[in-house]
A = this chain, B = another copy of it.
Amino acid sequence: MIPSEVTAAFKKHLEALIEVSDSELEFILSFFEYRKFKKHQFLIQKGGTAEYSYWLYEGLTKSFFTDEAGKEHILQFAMENWWTSDYEAYFSEQPATLDVDCIENTTVLCISYQNREKLCAQMHKMEHFFRKKANSGYIALQKRFLNSYTNNTKERYDLLLKQYPALFQRVPKAFIASYLGVTRETLSRFQES
């Protein structure tokens, strides 16, 4: 049984884009699973399956890519009300190339690829919801991409600090550095100013 504060928060999340009656919500939720993860647990592991897409009720995760040199590149932090997965693997039903790791204890609703496709097919409204979500995810990534090409490291650091001040309280500086694509030494030298 899913706690009512979770279903209520999820309903609110859906209602940012579509109208949802209580019975519809119940139907939608029947496609999802409720799960809890502890700090340091993995939602997804490289080489394993990326069976689920996760909506975070609470907690904090990082998804990252590990290069040949063994260096981690953080692609995304996800927190309350965000979605996360290894979408390349999820959509193509191939083994994951990313890890998704809990930085804090995390509570989620998650949906398998199969269920997601079924839900979209059976409920036009939800296809609409996920289309809109995909669009805004694309825009967010594009903004981040342009930011990384256009601004220097200091500017990117300042922008992140301005946009997500809370993040700096919740994760080690080394994670911020990895997210910005610089070494922690370089990041450290920026803090001066």
Binding site for B on A (CB under 8 A): 65, 67, 73, 75, 87-88, 91-92, 120-121, 124, 127-128, 130-131, 134-139, 141-146, 148-150, 181
Closest beta carbon of chain B to A56's beta carbon, Å = 18
The contact of A91 among B75, B139, B141, by CB within 8 Å, is B139
Q: Could you tell me the distance between the alpha carbons of A90 and B121 in the complex, rounded to whole angstroms? A: 26
The chain B residue sitting closest to A180, CB to CB, is: B149
Determine the distance from Cα of A134 to Cα of B73 in the docked complex, in whole angstroms.
Answer: 24
Asked whether A75 lies within 8 Å of B127 as measured between CB atoms, the reply is: no
Hey, which chain B residues are within 8 Å of A143, CB to CB?
88
Complex Cα gap A145–B87 (Å): 14
User: How many whole Å from A50's CB to the nearest CB in chain B?
Assistant: 12
Query: From residue A109, how far is it (CB to closest CB) to chain B in Å?
Result: 20
Smallest Cβ distance from A83 to chain B, in angstroms?
12
